[in-house]
Structure 1
Amino acid sequence: MASRWKRIVVGPNEDGKSAVLDTEQTNVQSREGFYWRATLWGTQETPADNTIEGDRSLDVKTREPFANGMLCRALEIPPDHSDADTHLKVFNELNEQIGHPIEATAEDSARHPTMHRTDTLDCITCVIGEIYLVTDVEEVLMKPGDTVIIRGTNHGWSNRSDEPCLLVGTMLDAVPKVAPGR
Protein backbone atom coordinates (compact mmCIF):
# COMPACT_ATOMS: atom_id res chain seq x y z
CA MET A 1 0.00 0.00 0.00
CA ALA A 2 2.75 2.48 0.94
CA SER A 3 4.29 2.89 -2.52
CA ARG A 4 1.31 4.82 -3.81
CA TRP A 5 1.43 7.69 -1.29
CA LYS A 6 2.66 10.90 -2.82
CA ARG A 7 3.90 14.01 -1.03
CA ILE A 8 3.25 17.26 -2.92
CA VAL A 9 5.21 20.32 -1.83
CA VAL A 10 3.92 23.69 -3.05
CA GLY A 11 5.91 26.89 -2.72
CA PRO A 12 7.06 29.87 -4.74
CA ASN A 13 8.90 29.18 -8.00
CA GLU A 14 11.73 31.35 -9.32
CA ASP A 15 9.13 33.94 -10.43
CA GLY A 16 7.45 34.02 -7.01
CA LYS A 17 4.36 32.16 -8.30
CA SER A 18 2.90 29.21 -6.43
CA ALA A 19 4.04 25.98 -8.01
CA VAL A 20 4.57 22.31 -7.24
CA LEU A 21 8.19 22.02 -6.12
CA ASP A 22 8.33 18.31 -5.27
CA THR A 23 6.19 15.18 -5.60
CA GLU A 24 8.50 12.53 -4.15
CA GLN A 25 8.43 10.72 -0.83
CA THR A 26 11.47 11.45 1.30
CA ASN A 27 12.88 10.34 4.61
CA VAL A 28 11.12 6.97 4.46
CA GLN A 29 11.73 4.35 7.14
CA SER A 30 10.20 0.90 6.91
CA ARG A 31 10.29 -2.65 8.09
CA GLU A 32 8.18 -5.03 6.02
CA GLY A 33 5.29 -6.42 8.03
CA PHE A 34 5.73 -3.93 10.90
CA TYR A 35 5.66 -0.29 9.74
CA TRP A 36 6.22 2.21 6.95
CA ARG A 37 6.59 5.89 7.70
CA ALA A 38 7.64 9.00 5.86
CA THR A 39 8.41 12.39 7.29
CA LEU A 40 6.46 14.68 4.99
CA TRP A 41 7.78 17.94 6.43
CA GLY A 42 9.53 19.27 9.49
CA THR A 43 10.54 22.59 10.97
CA GLN A 44 13.04 23.65 13.61
CA GLU A 45 11.15 26.78 14.63
CA THR A 46 7.78 28.21 15.55
CA PRO A 47 6.34 29.98 13.74
CA ALA A 48 7.45 28.03 10.67
CA ASP A 49 9.84 29.97 8.45
CA ASN A 50 8.73 29.56 4.83
CA THR A 51 11.78 31.49 3.59
CA ILE A 52 14.07 28.52 4.33
CA GLU A 53 14.84 26.68 1.09
CA GLY A 54 15.10 22.96 0.52
CA ASP A 55 13.42 19.79 1.64
CA ARG A 56 13.08 20.26 5.40
CA SER A 57 11.93 16.69 5.96
CA LEU A 58 15.46 15.45 5.28
CA ASP A 59 16.78 17.02 8.51
CA VAL A 60 14.56 14.82 10.69
CA LYS A 61 16.25 11.71 12.11
CA THR A 62 14.23 11.24 15.33
CA ARG A 63 10.67 10.32 16.32
CA GLU A 64 10.06 13.74 17.89
CA PRO A 65 10.38 17.18 16.30
CA PHE A 66 13.24 19.55 17.01
CA ALA A 67 12.84 21.91 19.97
CA ASN A 68 10.20 24.48 18.97
CA GLY A 69 9.60 22.52 15.78
CA MET A 70 6.96 20.48 14.00
CA LEU A 71 6.80 17.18 12.11
CA CYS A 72 4.22 15.99 9.63
CA ARG A 73 4.26 12.25 9.03
CA ALA A 74 2.44 9.46 7.25
CA LEU A 75 2.49 6.13 9.06
CA GLU A 76 1.25 2.89 7.60
CA ILE A 77 0.69 0.07 10.08
CA PRO A 78 0.01 -3.46 8.83
CA PRO A 79 -1.99 -5.96 10.89
CA ASP A 80 -0.36 -6.75 14.25
CA HIS A 81 2.45 -9.28 14.01
CA SER A 82 1.41 -12.70 15.33
CA ASP A 83 4.46 -12.90 17.64
CA ALA A 84 4.33 -10.14 20.29
CA ASP A 85 7.99 -10.71 21.26
CA THR A 86 9.16 -10.19 17.67
CA HIS A 87 6.89 -7.14 17.38
CA LEU A 88 8.43 -5.67 20.54
CA LYS A 89 11.98 -6.44 19.33
CA VAL A 90 11.38 -4.64 16.01
CA PHE A 91 9.75 -1.67 17.78
CA ASN A 92 12.70 -1.44 20.21
CA GLU A 93 15.14 -1.55 17.28
CA LEU A 94 13.28 1.37 15.67
CA ASN A 95 13.37 3.30 18.96
CA GLU A 96 17.12 2.75 19.21
CA GLN A 97 17.68 3.71 15.57
CA ILE A 98 15.84 7.02 15.97
CA GLY A 99 17.23 7.78 19.44
CA HIS A 100 13.87 7.77 21.19
CA PRO A 101 14.65 9.19 24.66
CA ILE A 102 11.75 7.71 26.66
CA GLU A 103 11.98 3.98 27.33
CA ALA A 104 8.76 2.03 27.73
CA THR A 105 8.31 0.08 30.94
CA ALA A 106 7.78 -3.69 30.92
CA GLU A 107 4.18 -3.00 31.97
CA ASP A 108 3.70 -0.67 28.98
CA SER A 109 5.17 -3.19 26.54
CA ALA A 110 3.02 -5.98 27.98
CA ARG A 111 -0.08 -3.88 27.22
CA HIS A 112 1.00 -3.65 23.56
CA PRO A 113 4.45 -3.90 21.91
CA THR A 114 4.11 -0.40 20.40
CA MET A 115 3.31 1.44 23.64
CA HIS A 116 5.42 4.57 23.88
CA ARG A 117 5.34 8.16 25.05
CA THR A 118 6.52 11.33 23.41
CA ASP A 119 6.74 14.80 24.91
CA THR A 120 4.75 16.27 22.02
CA LEU A 121 1.28 17.37 21.06
CA ASP A 122 0.17 14.94 18.34
CA CYS A 123 -2.81 15.43 16.02
CA ILE A 124 -3.30 12.17 14.10
CA THR A 125 -6.05 11.23 11.63
CA CYS A 126 -6.94 7.75 10.44
CA VAL A 127 -7.08 8.00 6.64
CA ILE A 128 -7.46 4.41 5.44
CA GLY A 129 -8.31 1.22 7.30
CA GLU A 130 -8.90 0.97 11.01
CA ILE A 131 -6.74 0.78 14.10
CA TYR A 132 -7.06 0.65 17.86
CA LEU A 133 -5.51 3.51 19.79
CA VAL A 134 -4.22 1.87 22.97
CA THR A 135 -3.83 3.94 26.15
CA ASP A 136 -2.87 2.93 29.68
CA VAL A 137 -6.49 2.22 30.63
CA GLU A 138 -8.59 1.79 27.47
CA GLU A 139 -8.68 1.27 23.71
CA VAL A 140 -10.56 3.19 21.04
CA LEU A 141 -11.24 1.93 17.51
CA MET A 142 -10.34 4.60 14.97
CA LYS A 143 -11.79 4.53 11.45
CA PRO A 144 -11.22 6.85 8.46
CA GLY A 145 -11.87 10.46 9.42
CA ASP A 146 -11.34 9.89 13.16
CA THR A 147 -8.71 12.14 14.73
CA VAL A 148 -6.91 11.75 18.04
CA ILE A 149 -5.08 14.48 19.96
CA ILE A 150 -2.34 12.98 22.13
CA ARG A 151 -0.99 15.30 24.80
CA GLY A 152 2.37 13.78 25.74
CA THR A 153 1.00 10.51 27.14
CA ASN A 154 1.51 6.78 26.64
CA HIS A 155 -0.11 5.32 23.56
CA GLY A 156 0.24 2.51 21.08
CA TRP A 157 -1.31 1.33 17.82
CA SER A 158 -2.92 -2.09 17.34
CA ASN A 159 -4.14 -3.10 13.90
CA ARG A 160 -6.44 -6.07 14.45
CA SER A 161 -7.84 -6.06 10.93
CA ASP A 162 -6.62 -7.90 7.83
CA GLU A 163 -5.62 -4.69 6.00
CA PRO A 164 -3.00 -1.97 6.55
CA CYS A 165 -4.02 1.29 8.21
CA LEU A 166 -2.75 4.71 7.13
CA LEU A 167 -2.40 7.45 9.74
CA VAL A 168 -1.33 11.01 8.89
CA GLY A 169 -0.50 13.51 11.56
CA THR A 170 1.44 16.41 12.92
CA MET A 171 3.64 16.39 16.01
CA LEU A 172 4.41 19.68 17.72
CA ASP A 173 7.13 20.24 20.28
CA ALA A 174 5.42 20.77 23.64
CA VAL A 175 6.16 21.37 27.28
CA PRO A 176 6.05 17.86 28.81
CA LYS A 177 3.61 16.94 31.54
CA VAL A 178 4.79 13.73 33.07
CA ALA A 179 2.08 11.61 34.67
CA PRO A 180 2.54 10.60 38.33
CA GLY A 181 4.69 7.50 38.67
CA ARG A 182 6.43 8.00 35.30
Structure 2
Amino acid sequence: MAEVESTSGRTHLREGKEMHFSLSSVSAAEPENGRRCTHRAKPHCTVRQGRCLSAMSAPEIRRVVTGHDDKGRAVVISDQVSTGPNPFSNLVWTTATSPADNMDDTDGALRGAGVTVAGGTVFRIGRLEPGHRSPMHRTLSIDYGIVLDGRLVLELDGGDRVELKAGDVVVQRGTNHIWANETDESCTVAFILVDAKPVVVDGRELAPTPITLPKPPQA
Protein backbone atom coordinates (compact mmCIF):
# COMPACT_ATOMS: atom_id res chain seq x y z
CA MET A 1 0.00 0.00 0.00
CA ALA A 2 1.36 3.40 -0.97
CA GLU A 3 0.62 6.44 1.15
CA VAL A 4 0.80 10.18 0.65
CA GLU A 5 1.78 12.26 3.65
CA SER A 6 0.76 15.89 3.97
CA THR A 7 0.60 18.52 6.69
CA SER A 8 -3.20 18.23 6.63
CA GLY A 9 -3.34 14.52 7.36
CA ARG A 10 -2.73 11.24 5.58
CA THR A 11 -4.47 9.88 2.53
CA HIS A 12 -4.21 6.17 1.73
CA LEU A 13 -3.74 5.29 -1.93
CA ARG A 14 -4.45 1.74 -3.02
CA GLU A 15 -4.59 -0.11 -6.29
CA GLY A 16 -7.21 1.20 -8.64
CA LYS A 17 -7.94 4.37 -10.54
CA GLU A 18 -7.08 7.48 -8.56
CA MET A 19 -9.67 10.24 -8.48
CA HIS A 20 -8.61 13.59 -7.10
CA PHE A 21 -10.92 16.45 -6.25
CA SER A 22 -10.99 19.46 -4.00
CA LEU A 23 -13.88 20.19 -1.66
CA SER A 24 -13.56 23.84 -2.66
CA SER A 25 -14.54 22.95 -6.23
CA VAL A 26 -17.74 21.03 -5.57
CA SER A 27 -19.94 21.53 -8.60
CA ALA A 28 -22.78 24.00 -8.80
CA ALA A 29 -24.71 25.16 -11.81
CA GLU A 30 -25.35 28.88 -12.08
CA PRO A 31 -28.42 29.44 -9.88
CA GLU A 32 -31.48 30.45 -11.87
CA ASN A 33 -33.97 31.21 -9.15
CA GLY A 34 -32.23 33.94 -7.20
CA ARG A 35 -30.70 31.73 -4.49
CA ARG A 36 -28.49 33.89 -2.35
CA CYS A 37 -25.71 33.29 0.11
CA THR A 38 -27.08 31.90 3.38
CA HIS A 39 -23.86 32.44 5.30
CA ARG A 40 -23.45 36.20 4.95
CA ALA A 41 -21.05 36.20 1.99
CA LYS A 42 -17.90 35.66 4.03
CA PRO A 43 -14.57 36.37 2.27
CA HIS A 44 -14.17 32.78 1.05
CA CYS A 45 -17.49 32.79 -0.82
CA THR A 46 -17.61 32.85 -4.59
CA VAL A 47 -20.32 35.32 -5.50
CA ARG A 48 -21.53 35.79 -9.07
CA GLN A 49 -24.27 38.23 -10.01
CA GLY A 50 -25.08 38.65 -6.33
CA ARG A 51 -25.42 34.91 -5.73
CA CYS A 52 -23.18 32.71 -3.62
CA LEU A 53 -21.68 29.76 -5.48
CA SER A 54 -19.62 28.35 -2.61
CA ALA A 55 -20.49 24.71 -2.03
CA MET A 56 -19.68 24.41 1.65
CA SER A 57 -19.48 26.73 4.62
CA ALA A 58 -18.57 26.36 8.29
CA PRO A 59 -21.58 26.87 10.56
CA GLU A 60 -20.99 28.73 13.79
CA ILE A 61 -21.31 26.35 16.73
CA ARG A 62 -20.82 26.34 20.49
CA ARG A 63 -18.33 23.65 21.51
CA VAL A 64 -18.11 22.44 25.12
CA VAL A 65 -15.16 20.18 26.00
CA THR A 66 -14.80 18.37 29.32
CA GLY A 67 -11.78 16.96 31.12
CA HIS A 68 -10.42 16.44 34.65
CA ASP A 69 -8.78 18.60 37.27
CA ASP A 70 -5.73 17.53 39.27
CA LYS A 71 -8.00 15.69 41.72
CA GLY A 72 -9.67 13.63 39.02
CA ARG A 73 -12.97 15.54 39.11
CA ALA A 74 -14.83 16.20 35.87
CA VAL A 75 -14.66 19.84 34.75
CA VAL A 76 -15.33 21.95 31.67
CA ILE A 77 -12.01 22.87 30.07
CA SER A 78 -13.37 24.76 27.07
CA ASP A 79 -16.66 26.48 26.22
CA GLN A 80 -16.50 28.62 23.12
CA VAL A 81 -18.24 29.56 19.90
CA SER A 82 -16.30 29.22 16.68
CA THR A 83 -16.48 28.26 13.03
CA GLY A 84 -13.31 26.17 13.29
CA PRO A 85 -9.97 26.64 11.51
CA ASN A 86 -11.37 25.90 8.02
CA PRO A 87 -14.01 28.13 6.36
CA PHE A 88 -15.59 25.23 4.47
CA SER A 89 -16.49 23.04 7.46
CA ASN A 90 -16.19 23.26 11.22
CA LEU A 91 -13.63 20.75 12.48
CA VAL A 92 -14.99 20.13 15.97
CA TRP A 93 -12.54 17.49 17.21
CA THR A 94 -10.15 14.75 16.15
CA THR A 95 -8.32 11.94 17.90
CA ALA A 96 -4.98 10.54 16.79
CA THR A 97 -5.94 7.00 17.77
CA SER A 98 -8.96 4.73 18.15
CA PRO A 99 -9.58 3.86 20.93
CA ALA A 100 -8.91 7.48 21.86
CA ASP A 101 -6.43 8.63 24.50
CA ASN A 102 -8.28 10.83 26.99
CA MET A 103 -4.93 11.72 28.56
CA ASP A 104 -4.00 13.61 25.38
CA ASP A 105 -4.44 17.32 26.13
CA THR A 106 -4.23 18.36 22.47
CA ASP A 107 -7.14 20.49 21.25
CA GLY A 108 -8.54 18.05 18.71
CA ALA A 109 -9.73 20.85 16.42
CA LEU A 110 -6.15 22.08 15.99
CA ARG A 111 -4.58 18.72 15.16
CA GLY A 112 -3.45 18.42 11.55
CA ALA A 113 -6.20 16.42 9.84
CA GLY A 114 -7.34 15.66 6.35
CA VAL A 115 -10.79 14.32 5.61
CA THR A 116 -9.86 11.42 7.90
CA VAL A 117 -7.07 10.76 10.40
CA ALA A 118 -5.18 7.52 9.82
CA GLY A 119 -5.83 5.33 12.85
CA GLY A 120 -8.01 8.00 14.48
CA THR A 121 -11.33 9.83 14.30
CA VAL A 122 -12.71 13.11 12.97
CA PHE A 123 -15.82 15.06 14.00
CA ARG A 124 -16.83 17.92 11.72
CA ILE A 125 -19.94 19.91 10.88
CA GLY A 126 -20.50 21.32 7.42
CA ARG A 127 -23.21 23.20 5.58
CA LEU A 128 -24.02 22.25 1.98
CA GLU A 129 -25.39 25.23 0.11
CA PRO A 130 -28.45 25.18 -2.18
CA GLY A 131 -27.98 23.68 -5.62
CA HIS A 132 -24.63 22.05 -4.88
CA ARG A 133 -23.50 18.43 -5.12
CA SER A 134 -20.25 16.72 -4.28
CA PRO A 135 -18.32 14.52 -6.72
CA MET A 136 -18.70 10.77 -6.33
CA HIS A 137 -16.19 9.78 -3.64
CA ARG A 138 -15.19 7.12 -1.14
CA THR A 139 -13.24 7.53 2.12
CA LEU A 140 -11.30 4.88 4.01
CA SER A 141 -13.55 5.15 7.04
CA ILE A 142 -16.90 4.33 8.56
CA ASP A 143 -18.90 7.55 8.71
CA TYR A 144 -21.82 8.53 10.92
CA GLY A 145 -23.77 11.39 9.32
CA ILE A 146 -26.48 13.31 11.18
CA VAL A 147 -28.67 15.80 9.32
CA LEU A 148 -29.10 18.75 11.69
CA ASP A 149 -31.26 20.96 9.50
CA GLY A 150 -32.45 21.20 5.92
CA ARG A 151 -32.69 18.41 3.37
CA LEU A 152 -30.22 16.63 1.11
CA VAL A 153 -29.95 13.61 -1.15
CA LEU A 154 -27.55 10.67 -0.79
CA GLU A 155 -26.69 9.00 -4.10
CA LEU A 156 -24.71 5.73 -4.33
CA ASP A 157 -22.82 4.38 -7.32
CA GLY A 158 -25.07 1.29 -7.35
CA GLY A 159 -28.02 3.52 -8.28
CA ASP A 160 -29.70 3.95 -4.90
CA ARG A 161 -30.92 7.42 -4.02
CA VAL A 162 -32.17 8.46 -0.57
CA GLU A 163 -33.78 11.77 0.41
CA LEU A 164 -32.80 12.87 3.92
CA LYS A 165 -34.26 15.44 6.29
CA ALA A 166 -33.37 16.91 9.69
CA GLY A 167 -33.08 14.14 12.27
CA ASP A 168 -32.15 11.43 9.77
CA VAL A 169 -28.85 9.59 10.17
CA VAL A 170 -26.61 7.77 7.70
CA VAL A 171 -24.06 5.04 8.40
CA GLN A 172 -21.63 5.18 5.48
CA ARG A 173 -19.54 1.99 5.35
CA GLY A 174 -16.79 2.85 2.90
CA THR A 175 -19.29 3.32 0.07
CA ASN A 176 -18.92 5.45 -3.07
CA HIS A 177 -21.37 8.33 -2.73
CA ILE A 178 -22.53 11.83 -3.62
CA TRP A 179 -24.13 14.46 -1.36
CA ALA A 180 -26.56 16.78 -3.16
CA ASN A 181 -28.64 19.71 -1.96
CA GLU A 182 -31.49 20.09 -4.42
CA THR A 183 -33.47 22.57 -2.32
CA ASP A 184 -33.53 26.35 -1.90
CA GLU A 185 -32.20 26.18 1.67
CA SER A 186 -28.81 25.26 3.10
CA CYS A 187 -28.38 21.89 4.82
CA THR A 188 -26.21 21.34 7.91
CA VAL A 189 -24.75 17.90 8.56
CA ALA A 190 -22.54 16.52 11.34
CA PHE A 191 -20.02 13.86 10.29
CA ILE A 192 -18.08 11.52 12.55
CA LEU A 193 -15.44 9.59 10.58
CA VAL A 194 -13.59 6.63 12.08
CA ASP A 195 -10.58 5.19 10.23
CA ALA A 196 -11.45 1.76 8.79
CA LYS A 197 -10.02 -1.16 6.89
CA PRO A 198 -10.61 -1.16 3.12
CA VAL A 199 -13.63 -2.91 1.66
CA VAL A 200 -12.65 -6.00 -0.35
CA VAL A 201 -14.99 -7.38 -3.03
CA ASP A 202 -14.07 -10.51 -4.96
CA GLY A 203 -10.45 -10.16 -3.89
CA ARG A 204 -10.21 -6.49 -4.97
CA GLU A 205 -9.76 -3.58 -2.57
CA LEU A 206 -12.13 -0.70 -3.30
CA ALA A 207 -9.85 2.31 -3.48
CA PRO A 208 -10.67 5.53 -1.62
CA THR A 209 -10.81 8.84 -3.46
CA PRO A 210 -7.86 11.12 -2.61
CA ILE A 211 -9.42 14.37 -1.44
CA THR A 212 -7.83 17.80 -1.15
CA LEU A 213 -9.23 19.99 1.61
CA PRO A 214 -9.40 23.70 0.74
CA LYS A 215 -7.01 26.03 2.52
CA PRO A 216 -8.39 28.95 4.56
CA PRO A 217 -8.11 32.31 2.72
CA GLN A 218 -5.07 34.45 3.45
CA ALA A 219 -5.75 37.37 5.76
When the two structures are superposed, what TM-score results if normalisation uses the length of structure 2? Answer: 0.60
Q: Which residue, 176, 180, 183 being the options, matches 1:154?
A: 176
Mind listing any 5+ residue stretches in structure 2 that lack a counterpart?
A: 1-38, 40-57, 208-219
After TM superposition, give the deviation of residue 173 of structure 1 in Å.
0.6
How far apart, CA to CA, are the structure 2 residues paired with 1:157 and 1:131? 7
Q: 2:76 aligns with which of 20, 33, 42?
A: 20
Matched, 1:121 2:177: no
| Alignment correspondent of 2:189 | 167
Give the Cα–Cα distance (whole angstroms) in 2 for the partners of residues 128 and 22 of structure 1. 25
CA shift for structure 1 position 169:
2.1
Indicate the residue corresponding to 1:77 in structure 2.
128
Task: State whether residues 131 and 165 of structure 1, in contact with CA within 8 Å, keep that contact through their aligned partners in structure 2.
Answer: yes
Q: Distance in 1 between matches of 2:100 and 2:173?
A: 21
Q: C-alpha separation between the residues in 2 aligned to 1:51 and 1:26?
A: 25
Which of 25, 39, 57 pairs up with 2:109? Answer: 57
Q: Superposition RMSD on alpha carbons, in Å?
A: 2.2
Range with greater deviation from structure 2 (6-15 or 139-148): 6-15
Shift of 1:42: 0.8
The Cα of 1:152 is off from its aligned counterpart by 0.8
Deviation at 1:4, TM superposition (A): 3.5
Identity of aligned pairs, percent? 32
Q: How far is 1:164 from its partner? A: 1.0
With the length of structure 1 as denominator, give the TM-score of the two structures.
0.71
SS at match of 1:123: strand
Which of the two has higher C-alpha Rg?
A: 2
Q: Answer 1 or 2: which has greater helix percent.
A: 1
Distance 1:72 1:113, change over 3 A: closer
SS in 2 for 1:57: helix
Q: Does the Cα contact within 8 Å between 1:72 and 1:170 map onto a contact in 2?
A: yes
In the alignment of these two chains, the number of paired residues is 146
1:31-110 alignment runs, 5 A limit: 36-66=88-118, 68-81=119-132
The offset of 1:124, in angstroms, is 0.6
Partners of 1:152 and 1:141 lie apart in 2 by 19
How many angstroms does 1:27 deviate by?
4.0
Deviation at 1:128, TM superposition (A): 0.7
Partner secondary structure for residue 86 of structure 2 = strand
* Greater share of strand: 2
Letter of the 1:161 partner, please give it.
T
State the alpha-carbon separation in 2 of the partners of residues 126 and 154 from structure 1. Answer: 19
2:45 aligned residue: none
Q: Which residue of the partner structure matches residue 139 of structure 1?
A: 161
